[in-house]
Amino acid sequence: MKRTTTRLADGRELIYYDARDDAVRDALDRRPLPPAVSVSEVRHNPLLDEHVGYAAHRQGRTYHPPADQCPLCPTRGDSLSEIPAADYEVAVFENRFPSFGGGRGRCEVVCFTSDHDASFAGLTEEQAALVLHAWTDRSAELAAHPGVRQVYCFENRGAEIGVTLAHPHGQIYGYPFVTPFTERALRAAAAHKRRTGGNLYDELVAAERESGRRVVLETEEWTAFVPYAARWPYEVHLYPRRRVPDLPALDEAQRAGFPAVYLELLRRFDRIFGEGAGPTPYISGWHQAPFGIEDRGDFALHLELFTIRRSRDKLKFLAGSESGMGAFVSDVLPEAAADRLREVATGK
């Protein structure tokens, strides 16, 4: 695999990832862009002990452009985009409208393919492996960024989720703080270790594997299951069999086994609600250990995949209890969700 780093017209970094070592990426960004400036801000809420980011400049970001004006497609003739090359495999660049920046964090866009009409579920295993390589490389590099405490590689998919660009892509947030969900998980894991001496992540995964009731897919290297206390109508957590804290720590066998497992999960998600229901909207993201914490190796890297759709024509809205109090009430039992995700396995 080959990595080629260049700069866009406003100074932002652009990185191409290619499967072939002889790929040449020398196209220049011909747009007359002013220098990139970030005006984001982070504030701390002492009552909830959590951070909130403010990025008012994002109000002007690109919103549902026509397909022929997509900023994530390759540059073709006079149709200039964020990707100067006439074609690409995987491309990562600094977000033009970042949620965090200016030395306090970093936000990047990951284009999974140059094909505007594709989806991650439609990629080949080789293409998915290249995306995993990009996620891993970016996670390792952002670990050395002085303003980053935690790296989150994620994909928002579907208009129902709030996606404003239809091109298949994801994002990488280098948060300048440890996120609230991770803080809570770290506290729970630390308390469990003090009480029992064991690793909470290991025990949760072992219990799911032993029961098998909510396991939807299992290989020699990976286990996917609907968690016992899932928040979302259809939610799957994917763990490597051997605990590691982050993507760079995966071994070769784990990397080799990931594409087939993940693509199968995404394809099952698209079949949950039956033929004609359209692509299932989802959020998928890698939970990685923050930097600069004690016992970082106790954290378990895992991917969480979930949809806000609860039936063929209904969405799960975060209303009074969820938004106002952070207390989830779900419409689908985790066991029923697991049954459905097994029913729609490829070939059945």
Tell me which residues are annotated as active site: 169
Please report, in range form, the residues annotated as the binding site: 70, 73, 116, 167
Distance (Å, rounded) from C-alpha 335 to C-alpha 213? 7
The residues facing 53 across adjacent strands are 42
Please report, in range form, the residues annotated as the binding site for Zn(2+): 70, 73, 116, 167
Distance (Å, rounded) from C-alpha 80 to C-alpha 94? 17
Q: List, in sequence order, the alpha helices (H) in the chain.
A: 125-142, 180-196, 200-211, 252-269, 325, 334-343
Distance (Å, rounded) from C-alpha 115 to C-alpha 89? 9
Phi/psi-derived region of residue 35, left when phi > 0, alpha when psi is between -120 and 50, beta in every other case: beta
With contact defined as beta carbons under 8 Å apart, do 305 and 226 qualify? Answer: no
Q: Which of 78, 158, 70, 77 is nearest to 115 (CA)?
A: 70
